[in-house]
Amino acid sequence: MSATGAGGTGAGPAEAVQAEAVQADATRAEICVVACAEAWRGDGEILAAAMGTCSILGARLARLTFEPGLLTTDGGALLTAEPVPLGAPAGPAEGWLPFRDHLWLVQNGRRHVMMGASQIDRYGNTNISAVGAWERPASQLLGVRGAPGNTICNPTSYWIPRHSTRVFVPEVDVASGLGTDRAARLGPRASRFHDLRRVVTDLGVFDFRTPDGSMRLVSVHPGVEVEEIVAATGFPLHGLAEPATGGEVPRTRPPTSAELRLIREVLDVGGLRDREVRA
Amino acid sequence: MAQVSTAPAGPKVTTVEEIVGSLESGMTIGIGGWGSRRKPMALVRAIYRSALEDLTVVSYGGPDVGLLCAAGKVRRLVAPFATLDSVPLEPHFRAARQRGAIELTEYDEGMFMFGLLAAAHRLPFLPTRAGLGSDVMRVNPGLRTVRSPYGPAGEEAEELVAVPALTLDAALVHMDRADTRGNGQYLGPDPYLDDLFAKAATRCYVSCERLVDPGKLGGPPQSLLISRMHVAGVVETPGGGHFTDCGPDLGRDEAFQRHYATSAADPQAWAAFAGRFLSGDEAAYREAVRRWHEERERGEGTR
């Protein structure tokens, strides 16, 4: 792929102007794909495990651009030799990762997973199991799946396509995935592999790098107001107009023209991303 | 060379009815496959029609769990999830949980595998990090932790979850191929955990898409997943994994799965579905599905 490694470096003035023009028409979904991709920056040669359209696209985009060492799957048991476009055949494999080996890899640790969550609280505890009392739920969801093992063993991020107070709750009903407070209570030895990296939503990017491990606003997507995020979040956030940023909340970086080309012309020609995040 | 035995392995070849007839109410039954992938659905449908009740079902849950919940067969479910994969949530499982009809032992996916591994190797438990600090520990108050005897000098030794063995009275798995001796082969990209289910069970029954004579299982030796030493009975059930994914022979019947999921979410629609597809035997099911597809294609053709 000729575009590999063309992650916006060394652009001349003409190309910069062009990038500026393309940025302006990047959709919210495309901004989200790039924000998801950024979660794996610096990870090197590990498995980028992803659930959800923009997150899967992000992993493959990161591999095609600034993080070529990443391993990605076909969504099934194959580690593909090249990142696969959505809906395309897997093509040649470079490895085999059936479910049993995927579960072993979780224990091994060379993996950074980006999961979904039906609920998330200020410490990053997440719920995909059930809403209401676990004993007799008002709404039974998937079950805990691999979330307990993922969060105690691997770096974990989250992709949440619809940021709302239904998802961003003061307290989750069932803790499937461990937050920073639960990890702290386990002690440094038991929680030494716990590593919550970032939360990407359709409105912004968040992390937990605060003194008490609670959620912090890192950046706001272009076209989003901070007030929207505050109104859509069921708990107070750190990072809002902190003095260190001069009162300004940073903007999520827009896609480069090379990234937009890869998303639109290679990875997601059918535009599935726009079904997950409306323009 | 030793003389080649020509003793027929006939007694292992059995029928769906005989297999289900050998099961008893109150048993712990493991079901192979994963979500809506290579599930022994013909055997599950036969349990659905049977008088069995009060079962403990151990499964990476899919429509197997859903159908058995719909029939009121499940007292307790041991599972990390129940999903139809392309349809995220399993409607009958949801309904059973929301009306408090089943007990649930909810484990992390990896914990569940360690439980099968422990049972397969006759160990009382295996240690893992998975589950620590999560609500899996809260909702399973019987779960215990175990401390490592190998603590580094001056430091507290590590405490891990002791996942108890998931020992099974019976396991049901569906293979792409099997021979008449009971050897089972998978031809898709993923074996799932079916060999562990077989080893964790007192008796394992294998259904298969196609039954062949001994020595006639083609394909690479590493696709020979289940040995006859772990198999009590084998039965040929073409389309026996329907509507789950049984690649490469048969992909998931997505249209029919959607029909199942839509019907399952509504009592009246479910009564109609059950009447049409689940009131007869496996041959009647296959014929009803064939006609449903035929009608659907005709319906689309006239639009």
- Which DSSP state fits B160? E
Give the closest-approach CA distance of A112 to chain B in angstroms. 16
Of A135, A141, A148, the CB nearest to B136: A148
| Test mutation, A51, A152, A174, chain B, max B CBs within 10 A | A152
Q: What is the rounded average pLDDT of the residues A17-46? A: 84
pLDDT band at A247 (very low <50, low <70, confident <90, very high): low
Q: What is the residue-averaged pLDDT of chain B?
A: 95
pLDDT band at A6 (very low <50, low <70, confident <90, very high): very low
pLDDT band at B10 (very low <50, low <70, confident <90, very high): low
- Which DSSP state fits B232? S
Of A96, A137, A148, the CB nearest to B97: A137
The sign of the torsion formed by the CA atoms of B113, B114, B115, B118 equals positive
Q: Is A272 on the interface with B (CB under 8 A)?
A: no
Specify whether the CB–CB gap between B43 and B240 falls below 8 A.
yes
A125 assigned to some structural domain: yes
Of B81, B83, B110, the CB nearest to A149: B110
pLDDT band at B3 (very low <50, low <70, confident <90, very high): low
What contacts A87, CB < 8 A, 6 or more positions away?
A: A270, A272
Per-residue pLDDT, A239 = 79
pLDDT digits (tens, 9 = 90+) for B117-156: 999 999 999 999 999 999 999 999 999 999 999 987 888 8
pLDDT digits (tens, 9 = 90+) for A182-218: 999 999 999 999 999 999 999 999 999 999 999 999 9
pLDDT digits (tens, 9 = 90+) for B182-199: 999 999 999 999 999 999
A56 assigned to some structural domain: yes
Characterize A81-97 residue by residue with b for buried, 16 or more Cβ atoms within 10 angstroms of its Cβ, and e for exposed.
eebbbbeeebeeeeeeb
Residue B302 pLDDT > 80? no
Work out the percent of chain B whose per-residue pLDDT is above 70: 95
Record the tokens describing residue A161, joined without a space. Answer: 């396509």
Per-residue pLDDT, B11 = 81
A38 assigned to some structural domain: yes
Per-residue pLDDT, B281 = 96
CATH number of the domain that residue A98 is part of: 3.40.1080.10
How far from the centroid of its chain's Cα atoms is residue A279's Cα? 19
Query: What is the rounded distance in angstroms from the CA atom of residue B163 to the CA atom of residue B146?
Result: 10
Query: What is the rounded distance in angstroms from the CA atom of residue B130 to the CA atom of residue B133?
Result: 9
pLDDT band at B235 (very low <50, low <70, confident <90, very high): very high
Q: Are A174 and B139 inside 8 Å of each other by CB?
A: yes
Per-residue pLDDT, A109 = 97
Q: Are B108 and A107 inside 8 Å of each other by CB?
A: no
| Test mutation, A74, A103, A119, A182, chain B, max B CBs within 10 A | A103
- Which DSSP state fits A83? P
**Segments forming the whole domain that contains residue A170:** 3-9+19-267
DSSP-based three-state secondary structure for A66: coil
Q: What is the rounded average pLDDT of the residues A111-121? A: 98
A272 assigned to some structural domain: no
Per-residue pLDDT, A249 = 86
How far from the centroid of its chain's Cα atoms is residue B81's Cα? 13
B contacts of A142 (beta carbons < 8 Å): 81-83, 88-89
Of A96, A135, A182, the CB nearest to B133: A182
Q: Are B108 and A129 inside 8 Å of each other by CB?
A: no
Q: What's the total number of domains in chain A?
A: 1
What are the helix and strand counts (H, E) for chain A? 9, 12
Of A78, A143, A148, the CB nearest to B82: A143
pTM for the model stands at 0.93
Q: Is A86 on the interface with B (CB under 8 A)?
A: no
A contacts of B139 (beta carbons < 8 Å): 134, 174
A273 assigned to some structural domain: no
Q: What is the rounded average pLDDT of the residues A96-103? A: 98
Find the closest chain A residue to B79 by CA distance: A143
Q: Is A145 on the interface with B (CB under 8 A)?
A: yes
Per-residue pLDDT, A10 = 38
pLDDT band at B300 (very low <50, low <70, confident <90, very high): low
pLDDT band at B5 (very low <50, low <70, confident <90, very high): low
A14 assigned to some structural domain: no
Longest CA pairwise span in chain B (Å):
78
Q: Are A136 and B110 inside 8 Å of each other by CB?
A: no
Residue A19 pLDDT > 60? no
A275 assigned to some structural domain: no
β A78-80/A93-96 pair status: antiparallel
Of B81, B113, B138, the CB nearest to A143: B81
Residue A7 pLDDT > 50? no
A contacts of B100 (beta carbons < 8 Å): 135-136
- In one letter, which amino acid is A138? A
For residue B243, cis peptide bond before it (omega within 30 degrees of 0): yes
Residue B68 pLDDT > 60? yes
Residue A4 pLDDT > 70? no
Q: Are A146 and B108 inside 8 Å of each other by CB?
A: yes
**Can you tell me which residue has the tokens 């950024």?**
A38
Q: Are B108 and A144 inside 8 Å of each other by CB?
A: yes
Of A107, A142, A178, the CB nearest to B134: A178
Helix (H) or strand (E) holding B21: helix B16-22
Q: What is the residue-averaged pLDDT of chain A?
A: 91
Work out the percent of chain A whose per-residue pLDDT is above 90: 86
Q: Is A106 on the interface with B (CB under 8 A)?
A: yes
Per-residue pLDDT, A3 = 34
A34 assigned to some structural domain: yes
Virtual CA dihedral for A261, A262, A264, A270, nearest 10 degrees? 160
pLDDT band at A15 (very low <50, low <70, confident <90, very high): very low
Query: What is the rounded distance in angstroms from the CA atom of residue A146 to the CA atom of residue B134?
Result: 11
